[in-house]
Structure 1
Amino acid sequence: MLKTFDSRYNLPGRKYFSTAIPKLYQTVRDQVMEEVSEATYFAGTTDLWSSRTMGPYMSYTAHFIDRDWNLAPKHLQTVFFPDDHTGENLAAGLKDTLDSWGLQEEKQICLTTDNGSNIVKASELNEWQRLQCFGHRLHLAVNCGLKDDRIDRAVRVCKRVVSVFSYSWKKKRNLEKFQTELDLPQHSLITACDTRWGSTQKMIEGFWSRKRP
Protein backbone atom coordinates (compact mmCIF):
# COMPACT_ATOMS: atom_id res chain seq x y z
CA MET A 1 0.00 0.00 0.00
CA LEU A 2 2.78 2.44 0.93
CA LYS A 3 4.72 1.56 -2.21
CA THR A 4 1.67 2.45 -4.30
CA PHE A 5 1.12 5.63 -2.30
CA ASP A 6 4.75 6.79 -2.62
CA SER A 7 7.36 4.44 -4.07
CA ARG A 8 10.15 6.67 -2.73
CA TYR A 9 9.25 5.88 0.87
CA ASN A 10 11.40 3.19 2.46
CA LEU A 11 9.38 1.43 5.14
CA PRO A 12 11.53 0.76 8.24
CA GLY A 13 11.79 -2.86 9.32
CA ARG A 14 11.12 -4.62 12.60
CA LYS A 15 14.66 -4.02 13.84
CA TYR A 16 14.25 -0.26 13.50
CA PHE A 17 11.00 -0.14 15.49
CA SER A 18 12.32 -2.51 18.17
CA THR A 19 15.12 -0.02 18.91
CA ALA A 20 13.50 3.31 17.99
CA ILE A 21 10.44 2.98 20.24
CA PRO A 22 12.39 2.13 23.44
CA LYS A 23 14.77 5.03 22.69
CA LEU A 24 11.86 7.39 22.18
CA TYR A 25 10.26 6.20 25.43
CA GLN A 26 13.49 6.74 27.36
CA THR A 27 13.98 10.20 25.87
CA VAL A 28 10.49 11.31 26.86
CA ARG A 29 10.77 9.69 30.30
CA ASP A 30 14.08 11.47 31.00
CA GLN A 31 12.55 14.78 29.95
CA VAL A 32 9.48 14.32 32.17
CA MET A 33 11.61 13.14 35.10
CA GLU A 34 13.76 16.26 34.81
CA GLU A 35 10.68 18.52 34.83
CA VAL A 36 9.13 16.75 37.81
CA SER A 37 12.39 16.76 39.76
CA GLU A 38 12.43 20.58 39.65
CA ALA A 39 9.11 20.82 41.52
CA THR A 40 9.47 22.09 45.07
CA TYR A 41 6.24 20.34 46.00
CA PHE A 42 3.72 18.26 44.09
CA ALA A 43 0.32 16.65 44.55
CA GLY A 44 -0.69 13.23 43.28
CA THR A 45 -3.84 11.64 41.87
CA THR A 46 -4.29 7.90 41.53
CA ASP A 47 -6.97 5.45 40.48
CA LEU A 48 -7.44 1.81 39.57
CA TRP A 49 -8.65 0.86 36.11
CA SER A 50 -9.76 -2.20 34.17
CA SER A 51 -9.02 -2.60 30.47
CA ARG A 52 -11.60 -3.90 27.99
CA THR A 53 -10.17 -7.36 28.62
CA MET A 54 -10.55 -6.74 32.39
CA GLY A 55 -6.81 -6.37 32.97
CA PRO A 56 -6.13 -4.45 36.23
CA TYR A 57 -4.07 -1.25 36.10
CA MET A 58 -3.07 1.52 38.49
CA SER A 59 -2.36 5.05 37.31
CA TYR A 60 -0.56 7.97 38.93
CA THR A 61 -0.38 11.64 37.92
CA ALA A 62 1.79 14.31 39.51
CA HIS A 63 0.59 17.94 39.62
CA PHE A 64 2.93 20.85 40.34
CA ILE A 65 3.64 24.48 39.45
CA ASP A 66 6.69 25.01 37.23
CA ARG A 67 9.22 27.85 37.31
CA ASP A 68 6.96 30.00 35.09
CA TRP A 69 4.03 29.54 37.48
CA ASN A 70 2.13 27.28 35.11
CA LEU A 71 0.17 24.30 36.41
CA ALA A 72 2.03 21.27 35.06
CA PRO A 73 0.21 17.93 35.42
CA LYS A 74 2.33 14.97 34.32
CA HIS A 75 0.71 11.56 33.94
CA LEU A 76 3.65 9.42 34.97
CA GLN A 77 2.36 5.91 34.47
CA THR A 78 -0.46 3.43 34.13
CA VAL A 79 1.00 0.09 35.16
CA PHE A 80 -0.30 -3.45 35.15
CA PHE A 81 -1.31 -4.31 38.72
CA PRO A 82 -2.21 -8.01 38.98
CA ASP A 83 -1.85 -8.21 42.77
CA ASP A 84 -4.88 -8.25 45.03
CA HIS A 85 -6.12 -4.69 45.49
CA THR A 86 -5.60 -4.65 49.24
CA GLY A 87 -4.61 -1.51 51.09
CA GLU A 88 -1.18 -3.01 51.80
CA ASN A 89 -0.49 -3.82 48.14
CA LEU A 90 -1.70 -0.43 46.94
CA ALA A 91 0.45 1.34 49.53
CA ALA A 92 3.52 -0.57 48.35
CA GLY A 93 2.66 0.05 44.69
CA LEU A 94 2.33 3.80 45.23
CA LYS A 95 5.65 3.95 47.06
CA ASP A 96 7.29 2.07 44.17
CA THR A 97 5.80 4.62 41.76
CA LEU A 98 7.41 7.54 43.56
CA ASP A 99 10.72 5.68 43.83
CA SER A 100 10.78 4.82 40.14
CA TRP A 101 10.42 8.52 39.24
CA GLY A 102 12.85 9.78 41.86
CA LEU A 103 10.14 11.61 43.81
CA GLN A 104 10.43 12.20 47.55
CA GLU A 105 7.42 11.39 49.69
CA GLU A 106 7.90 14.46 51.87
CA LYS A 107 7.41 16.68 48.79
CA GLN A 108 3.98 15.19 48.06
CA ILE A 109 1.54 17.48 49.84
CA CYS A 110 -1.54 15.31 49.23
CA LEU A 111 -2.96 12.41 47.24
CA THR A 112 -6.40 12.74 45.63
CA THR A 113 -8.39 9.50 45.42
CA ASP A 114 -11.92 8.16 45.41
CA ASN A 115 -13.45 6.79 48.62
CA GLY A 116 -12.56 3.12 48.10
CA SER A 117 -11.72 1.54 51.44
CA ASN A 118 -8.54 -0.01 50.00
CA ILE A 119 -7.05 3.27 48.71
CA VAL A 120 -8.09 5.05 51.92
CA LYS A 121 -6.20 2.41 53.91
CA ALA A 122 -3.20 2.65 51.54
CA SER A 123 -2.97 6.40 52.21
CA GLU A 124 -3.15 5.79 55.94
CA LEU A 125 -0.46 3.09 55.81
CA ASN A 126 1.87 5.43 53.89
CA GLU A 127 0.91 8.28 56.23
CA TRP A 128 0.04 10.45 53.23
CA GLN A 129 -2.41 13.34 53.35
CA ARG A 130 -5.46 12.28 51.30
CA LEU A 131 -7.96 14.49 49.48
CA GLN A 132 -11.34 13.22 48.36
CA CYS A 133 -12.01 13.38 44.61
CA PHE A 134 -14.60 16.10 43.89
CA GLY A 135 -15.87 14.29 40.80
CA HIS A 136 -16.46 11.10 42.78
CA ARG A 137 -18.21 12.98 45.59
CA LEU A 138 -20.40 14.76 43.03
CA HIS A 139 -21.30 11.42 41.47
CA LEU A 140 -22.41 10.08 44.86
CA ALA A 141 -24.42 13.24 45.55
CA VAL A 142 -26.21 13.11 42.18
CA ASN A 143 -27.03 9.41 42.62
CA CYS A 144 -28.38 10.13 46.09
CA GLY A 145 -30.61 12.86 44.64
CA LEU A 146 -31.92 10.46 41.97
CA LYS A 147 -33.20 7.94 44.51
CA ASP A 148 -36.82 8.23 43.49
CA ASP A 149 -38.95 5.30 42.30
CA ARG A 150 -40.27 7.22 39.27
CA ILE A 151 -36.81 8.31 38.17
CA ASP A 152 -35.38 4.85 38.77
CA ARG A 153 -38.09 3.22 36.65
CA ALA A 154 -37.63 5.72 33.80
CA VAL A 155 -33.85 5.17 33.76
CA ARG A 156 -34.25 1.37 33.82
CA VAL A 157 -36.70 1.48 30.89
CA CYS A 158 -34.32 3.72 28.96
CA LYS A 159 -31.40 1.36 29.66
CA ARG A 160 -33.38 -1.64 28.42
CA VAL A 161 -34.31 0.08 25.16
CA VAL A 162 -30.71 1.20 24.57
CA SER A 163 -29.50 -2.33 25.33
CA VAL A 164 -31.86 -3.79 22.71
CA PHE A 165 -30.43 -1.48 20.05
CA SER A 166 -26.87 -2.24 21.17
CA TYR A 167 -27.26 -5.98 20.52
CA SER A 168 -29.36 -5.89 17.33
CA TRP A 169 -27.78 -4.84 14.02
CA LYS A 170 -31.25 -4.88 12.42
CA LYS A 171 -32.56 -2.31 14.90
CA LYS A 172 -29.44 -0.20 14.40
CA ARG A 173 -29.98 -0.33 10.65
CA ASN A 174 -33.64 0.66 11.01
CA LEU A 175 -32.76 3.51 13.38
CA GLU A 176 -30.33 4.90 10.79
CA LYS A 177 -33.01 4.54 8.11
CA PHE A 178 -35.67 6.46 10.07
CA GLN A 179 -33.19 9.16 11.09
CA THR A 180 -32.46 9.70 7.40
CA GLU A 181 -36.15 9.83 6.53
CA LEU A 182 -36.78 12.39 9.27
CA ASP A 183 -33.74 14.43 8.14
CA LEU A 184 -31.98 13.97 11.50
CA PRO A 185 -28.22 13.55 12.11
CA GLN A 186 -27.03 9.96 12.40
CA HIS A 187 -26.54 9.37 16.12
CA SER A 188 -26.30 6.11 18.02
CA LEU A 189 -27.94 5.65 21.40
CA ILE A 190 -25.60 6.10 24.37
CA THR A 191 -25.18 3.46 27.06
CA ALA A 192 -25.07 4.65 30.67
CA CYS A 193 -22.19 3.75 32.95
CA ASP A 194 -23.10 3.23 36.61
CA THR A 195 -19.94 5.02 37.79
CA ARG A 196 -20.46 8.10 35.59
CA TRP A 197 -23.62 10.08 36.36
CA GLY A 198 -23.01 12.25 33.28
CA SER A 199 -23.34 9.19 31.04
CA THR A 200 -26.89 8.64 32.36
CA GLN A 201 -27.72 12.24 31.48
CA LYS A 202 -26.29 11.78 27.97
CA MET A 203 -28.20 8.50 27.56
CA ILE A 204 -31.50 10.19 28.42
CA GLU A 205 -30.75 13.21 26.23
CA GLY A 206 -29.85 10.94 23.32
CA PHE A 207 -32.93 8.79 23.89
CA TRP A 208 -35.22 11.83 24.00
CA SER A 209 -33.69 13.45 20.90
CA ARG A 210 -34.22 10.15 19.01
CA LYS A 211 -37.77 9.62 20.27
CA ARG A 212 -39.43 9.91 16.82
CA PRO A 213 -37.10 7.61 14.85
Structure 2
Amino acid sequence: MIKTIIRNQLLPQVFNEQKTKLQLILREIKYVSLTTDMWRFIMGESFITTISHFIYKGKLRSAVMETTVIEHRHKAKIIKDYLQKLIDEWNLYGKVQIIITDNASNMVKACDLLKINHHNCFAHTLNLTVNDGLEDASNSELIKLLQKYKDIVQYFKKSNLVMDKLKEEQVRKNKPLLRPIQSVITRWNSMFYMIKRLLDLNEDDYLTIVLASSPVLEPFEDVTNQLSDDSYVTVSLIIPAVAEINKKLLEVNLQTDVVKNASFKIK
Protein backbone atom coordinates (compact mmCIF):
# COMPACT_ATOMS: atom_id res chain seq x y z
CA MET A 1 0.00 0.00 0.00
CA ILE A 2 2.74 2.48 1.00
CA LYS A 3 4.85 1.55 -2.04
CA THR A 4 1.86 2.11 -4.31
CA ILE A 5 1.19 5.56 -2.80
CA ILE A 6 4.86 6.53 -3.19
CA ARG A 7 5.03 5.28 -6.78
CA ASN A 8 1.67 6.51 -8.06
CA GLN A 9 1.13 9.69 -6.04
CA LEU A 10 4.11 11.11 -4.19
CA LEU A 11 6.84 10.59 -6.82
CA PRO A 12 4.76 12.03 -9.72
CA GLN A 13 3.86 14.99 -7.51
CA VAL A 14 7.48 15.73 -6.62
CA PHE A 15 8.53 15.23 -10.25
CA ASN A 16 5.93 17.69 -11.57
CA GLU A 17 6.83 20.28 -8.92
CA GLN A 18 10.54 20.11 -9.75
CA LYS A 19 9.88 20.12 -13.49
CA THR A 20 7.78 23.27 -13.16
CA LYS A 21 10.56 24.96 -11.16
CA LEU A 22 13.13 24.06 -13.81
CA GLN A 23 10.87 25.27 -16.61
CA LEU A 24 10.52 28.65 -14.90
CA ILE A 25 14.30 28.92 -14.52
CA LEU A 26 14.97 27.96 -18.14
CA ARG A 27 12.43 30.55 -19.24
CA GLU A 28 14.68 33.24 -17.76
CA ILE A 29 18.01 32.16 -19.23
CA LYS A 30 19.19 33.08 -22.74
CA TYR A 31 21.57 30.27 -23.60
CA VAL A 32 21.78 26.60 -22.73
CA SER A 33 23.91 23.62 -23.72
CA LEU A 34 22.74 20.03 -23.62
CA THR A 35 24.51 16.77 -22.82
CA THR A 36 22.81 13.60 -23.94
CA ASP A 37 23.75 9.95 -23.78
CA MET A 38 22.20 6.52 -24.36
CA TRP A 39 22.73 3.21 -22.62
CA ARG A 40 21.17 -0.24 -22.53
CA PHE A 41 19.58 -1.55 -19.35
CA ILE A 42 20.40 -5.09 -18.20
CA MET A 43 16.92 -6.22 -19.27
CA GLY A 44 17.54 -4.99 -22.82
CA GLU A 45 15.70 -1.66 -22.84
CA SER A 46 17.54 1.38 -24.21
CA PHE A 47 17.38 4.71 -22.39
CA ILE A 48 18.46 8.23 -23.20
CA THR A 49 19.14 10.99 -20.68
CA THR A 50 19.48 14.69 -21.45
CA ILE A 51 21.05 17.23 -19.08
CA SER A 52 20.88 21.00 -19.45
CA HIS A 53 23.77 23.31 -18.53
CA PHE A 54 23.23 27.03 -18.06
CA ILE A 55 24.23 30.06 -16.00
CA TYR A 56 21.64 31.11 -13.45
CA LYS A 57 22.18 33.91 -10.93
CA GLY A 58 25.87 34.03 -11.79
CA LYS A 59 26.55 30.32 -11.28
CA LEU A 60 26.93 27.41 -13.68
CA ARG A 61 24.03 25.02 -13.15
CA SER A 62 23.22 21.55 -14.47
CA ALA A 63 19.87 19.77 -14.34
CA VAL A 64 18.60 16.45 -15.65
CA MET A 65 15.67 17.23 -17.94
CA GLU A 66 14.56 13.77 -18.90
CA THR A 67 15.39 10.08 -18.91
CA THR A 68 13.22 8.07 -21.24
CA VAL A 69 13.09 4.82 -23.18
CA ILE A 70 14.30 4.96 -26.77
CA GLU A 71 12.48 2.39 -28.84
CA HIS A 72 13.24 1.04 -32.32
CA ARG A 73 16.70 1.28 -33.82
CA HIS A 74 18.90 4.14 -32.68
CA LYS A 75 18.90 5.91 -36.02
CA ALA A 76 19.92 9.54 -36.22
CA LYS A 77 16.39 10.52 -37.28
CA ILE A 78 14.90 8.89 -34.14
CA ILE A 79 17.38 10.69 -31.88
CA LYS A 80 16.83 13.96 -33.75
CA ASP A 81 13.05 13.68 -33.29
CA TYR A 82 13.48 12.96 -29.57
CA LEU A 83 15.75 16.00 -29.08
CA GLN A 84 13.45 18.21 -31.14
CA LYS A 85 10.46 17.17 -29.03
CA LEU A 86 12.40 17.86 -25.82
CA ILE A 87 13.53 21.28 -27.05
CA ASP A 88 9.96 22.18 -27.98
CA GLU A 89 8.51 20.88 -24.72
CA TRP A 90 10.95 22.92 -22.64
CA ASN A 91 10.65 26.03 -24.84
CA LEU A 92 14.36 26.04 -25.68
CA TYR A 93 14.04 26.91 -29.34
CA GLY A 94 16.85 29.29 -30.25
CA LYS A 95 18.49 28.92 -26.83
CA VAL A 96 20.46 25.68 -27.36
CA GLN A 97 23.99 26.66 -28.40
CA ILE A 98 25.64 23.25 -28.45
CA ILE A 99 24.90 19.59 -27.79
CA ILE A 100 27.59 17.34 -26.29
CA THR A 101 27.42 13.59 -26.97
CA ASP A 102 29.74 10.63 -27.33
CA ASN A 103 31.46 9.93 -30.66
CA ALA A 104 28.69 7.74 -32.08
CA SER A 105 27.88 8.66 -35.67
CA ASN A 106 24.11 8.57 -35.05
CA MET A 107 24.46 11.21 -32.31
CA VAL A 108 26.63 13.44 -34.50
CA LYS A 109 24.19 13.08 -37.41
CA ALA A 110 21.20 13.86 -35.17
CA CYS A 111 22.74 17.19 -34.16
CA ASP A 112 23.51 17.90 -37.81
CA LEU A 113 19.85 17.30 -38.69
CA LEU A 114 18.84 19.69 -35.92
CA LYS A 115 21.32 22.26 -37.27
CA ILE A 116 22.73 22.70 -33.77
CA ASN A 117 26.45 22.81 -33.02
CA HIS A 118 27.85 19.50 -31.79
CA HIS A 119 30.89 18.70 -29.64
CA ASN A 120 32.26 15.25 -28.86
CA CYS A 121 32.59 14.42 -25.18
CA PHE A 122 36.33 14.52 -24.55
CA ALA A 123 36.05 12.11 -21.61
CA HIS A 124 34.54 9.58 -24.02
CA THR A 125 37.36 10.23 -26.49
CA LEU A 126 39.85 9.47 -23.70
CA ASN A 127 37.94 6.27 -23.00
CA LEU A 128 38.32 5.17 -26.63
CA THR A 129 42.00 6.16 -26.68
CA VAL A 130 42.93 4.16 -23.60
CA ASN A 131 40.87 1.14 -24.63
CA ASP A 132 42.49 1.10 -28.08
CA GLY A 133 45.94 1.29 -26.50
CA LEU A 134 45.28 -1.48 -24.00
CA GLU A 135 43.54 -3.76 -26.50
CA ASP A 136 46.09 -3.43 -29.30
CA ALA A 137 46.95 -6.86 -30.73
CA SER A 138 50.63 -6.40 -29.89
CA ASN A 139 49.67 -6.12 -26.22
CA SER A 140 48.49 -9.73 -26.05
CA GLU A 141 50.34 -10.37 -22.79
CA LEU A 142 48.72 -7.40 -21.08
CA ILE A 143 45.31 -8.27 -22.53
CA LYS A 144 45.57 -11.83 -21.22
CA LEU A 145 46.64 -10.59 -17.81
CA LEU A 146 43.81 -8.07 -17.55
CA GLN A 147 41.31 -10.72 -18.67
CA LYS A 148 42.70 -13.03 -16.00
CA TYR A 149 41.99 -10.47 -13.32
CA LYS A 150 38.55 -9.74 -14.71
CA ASP A 151 37.84 -13.46 -14.38
CA ILE A 152 39.14 -13.43 -10.80
CA VAL A 153 36.86 -10.53 -9.91
CA GLN A 154 33.92 -12.27 -11.59
CA TYR A 155 34.66 -15.39 -9.54
CA PHE A 156 34.43 -13.38 -6.33
CA LYS A 157 31.28 -11.63 -7.49
CA LYS A 158 29.50 -14.92 -8.18
CA SER A 159 30.32 -16.61 -4.87
CA ASN A 160 29.17 -15.33 -1.49
CA LEU A 161 31.28 -18.04 0.13
CA VAL A 162 34.47 -16.81 -1.55
CA MET A 163 33.61 -13.20 -0.73
CA ASP A 164 33.08 -14.17 2.92
CA LYS A 165 36.47 -15.91 2.95
CA LEU A 166 38.08 -12.75 1.59
CA LYS A 167 36.42 -10.71 4.34
CA GLU A 168 37.59 -13.16 7.01
CA GLU A 169 41.15 -12.96 5.70
CA GLN A 170 41.08 -9.16 5.76
CA VAL A 171 39.80 -9.18 9.33
CA ARG A 172 42.47 -11.69 10.33
CA LYS A 173 45.21 -9.48 8.89
CA ASN A 174 43.62 -6.34 10.37
CA LYS A 175 43.16 -4.81 6.91
CA PRO A 176 40.41 -2.55 5.55
CA LEU A 177 37.38 -4.47 4.28
CA LEU A 178 37.63 -4.12 0.49
CA ARG A 179 35.72 -5.81 -2.30
CA PRO A 180 37.02 -6.52 -5.83
CA ILE A 181 35.90 -4.03 -8.50
CA GLN A 182 34.90 -5.26 -11.94
CA SER A 183 35.79 -3.34 -15.09
CA VAL A 184 33.24 -2.47 -17.78
CA ILE A 185 33.99 -1.80 -21.43
CA THR A 186 32.27 1.59 -21.57
CA ARG A 187 34.41 3.06 -18.79
CA TRP A 188 38.14 2.49 -19.15
CA ASN A 189 38.76 3.95 -15.69
CA SER A 190 36.78 1.07 -14.22
CA MET A 191 39.72 -1.07 -15.36
CA PHE A 192 42.03 1.34 -13.58
CA TYR A 193 39.95 0.98 -10.41
CA MET A 194 40.00 -2.80 -10.80
CA ILE A 195 43.80 -2.78 -11.09
CA LYS A 196 44.28 -0.54 -8.06
CA ARG A 197 41.88 -2.59 -5.97
CA LEU A 198 43.65 -5.83 -6.91
CA LEU A 199 46.92 -4.25 -5.83
CA ASP A 200 45.31 -3.32 -2.51
CA LEU A 201 44.02 -6.85 -2.04
CA ASN A 202 47.21 -8.70 -3.01
CA GLU A 203 50.59 -8.53 -1.29
CA ASP A 204 52.49 -10.77 -3.71
CA ASP A 205 54.91 -9.23 -6.17
CA TYR A 206 53.80 -11.19 -9.25
CA LEU A 207 51.59 -8.27 -10.29
CA THR A 208 54.56 -6.47 -11.86
CA ILE A 209 52.87 -5.71 -15.17
CA VAL A 210 49.66 -4.53 -13.55
CA LEU A 211 51.57 -2.47 -11.02
CA ALA A 212 53.65 -0.90 -13.78
CA SER A 213 50.56 -0.07 -15.85
CA SER A 214 48.95 1.89 -13.02
CA PRO A 215 51.15 5.05 -13.39
CA VAL A 216 50.44 5.02 -17.15
CA LEU A 217 46.70 5.16 -16.51
CA GLU A 218 46.72 7.63 -13.62
CA PRO A 219 47.08 10.79 -15.79
CA PHE A 220 44.03 9.73 -17.81
CA GLU A 221 42.09 9.12 -14.62
CA ASP A 222 42.96 12.58 -13.29
CA VAL A 223 41.93 14.31 -16.53
CA THR A 224 38.72 12.27 -16.82
CA ASN A 225 37.68 13.38 -13.34
CA GLN A 226 38.54 17.02 -14.07
CA LEU A 227 36.57 17.06 -17.32
CA SER A 228 33.58 15.26 -15.82
CA ASP A 229 32.93 17.98 -13.27
CA ASP A 230 29.81 20.02 -14.01
CA SER A 231 30.53 22.82 -11.54
CA TYR A 232 32.75 24.71 -14.00
CA VAL A 233 33.29 25.06 -17.76
CA THR A 234 35.62 22.28 -18.97
CA VAL A 235 35.99 22.78 -22.73
CA SER A 236 38.86 25.23 -22.23
CA LEU A 237 40.75 22.55 -20.28
CA ILE A 238 41.01 20.07 -23.15
CA ILE A 239 44.26 21.31 -24.77
CA PRO A 240 46.07 21.87 -21.43
CA ALA A 241 44.84 18.44 -20.28
CA VAL A 242 46.29 16.70 -23.35
CA ALA A 243 49.58 18.49 -22.83
CA GLU A 244 49.63 17.44 -19.18
CA ILE A 245 48.94 13.80 -20.07
CA ASN A 246 51.84 13.78 -22.54
CA LYS A 247 54.12 15.39 -19.96
CA LYS A 248 53.26 12.86 -17.26
CA LEU A 249 53.61 9.87 -19.61
CA LEU A 250 57.12 11.03 -20.50
CA GLU A 251 57.97 11.13 -16.79
CA VAL A 252 56.65 7.62 -16.02
CA ASN A 253 59.24 4.92 -15.37
CA LEU A 254 58.08 2.24 -17.80
CA GLN A 255 59.23 -0.93 -16.11
CA THR A 256 58.28 -3.58 -18.69
CA ASP A 257 58.19 -3.88 -22.47
CA VAL A 258 54.48 -4.69 -22.31
CA VAL A 259 53.68 -1.46 -20.49
CA LYS A 260 56.05 0.53 -22.73
CA ASN A 261 54.12 -0.70 -25.76
CA ALA A 262 50.75 0.09 -24.18
CA SER A 263 51.95 3.58 -23.27
CA PHE A 264 53.19 4.18 -26.83
CA LYS A 265 49.87 3.04 -28.33
CA ILE A 266 47.85 5.22 -25.98
CA LYS A 267 49.94 8.29 -26.75
TM-score (norm. length: structure 1): 0.86
1:203–1:19: structure 2 CA closer, same or farther, 3 Å change rule? closer
Alignment counterpart, residue 26 of structure 2, candidates 36, 41, 46: 36
2:116 maps to a residue whose letter is W
- Segments of 5+ residues of structure 2 without an aligned counterpart are 205-267
1:13–1:46: structure 2 CA closer, same or farther, 3 Å change rule? closer
Alignment counterpart, residue 135 of structure 1, candidates 123, 132, 135: 123
Aligned to 1:115: 103
TM-score (norm. length: structure 2): 0.70
Cα distance in 2 between the residues matched to 1:116 and 1:40: 29
After superposition, what is the alpha-carbon deviation per residue over 1:124-163, rounded to whole angstroms, capped at 9, x for unaligned? 1111110010110111122233232332222111111111
Cα distance in 1 between the residues matched to 2:201 and 2:101: 37
Aligned to 2:113: 125
Aligned to 1:174: 165
Task: Note the 1:1-213 alignment, pairs <5 A.
Answer: 18-66=8-56, 68-104=57-93, 106-146=94-134, 147=136, 148-212=139-203
Displacement of 1:212 in angstroms is 4.2
Cα distance in 2 between the residues matched to 1:183 and 1:143: 36
Cα distance in 2 between the residues matched to 1:134 and 1:28: 30
2:40 maps to a residue whose letter is S
Backbone CA RMSD of aligned residues: 2.1
1:181–1:79: structure 2 CA closer, same or farther, 3 Å change rule? same
1:56–1:155: structure 2 CA closer, same or farther, 3 Å change rule? same
User: Which one has a bigger Cα radius of gyration?
Assistant: 1
Cα distance in 1 between the residues matched to 2:17 and 2:146: 49
Cα distance in 2 between the residues matched to 1:171 and 1:207: 15
- 3-state DSSP of counterpart to 1:128: coil
Is 127-136 or 161-170 further displaced after alignment?
A: 161-170
Decide which structure has greater helix share: 2
1:71–1:170: structure 2 CA closer, same or farther, 3 Å change rule? same
Identity of matched residues, %: 25
**RCO higher in structure (CA 8 A, sep ≥6):** 2
Cα distance in 2 between the residues matched to 1:69 and 1:59: 26
- 3-state DSSP of counterpart to 1:60: strand
Aligned residues: 201
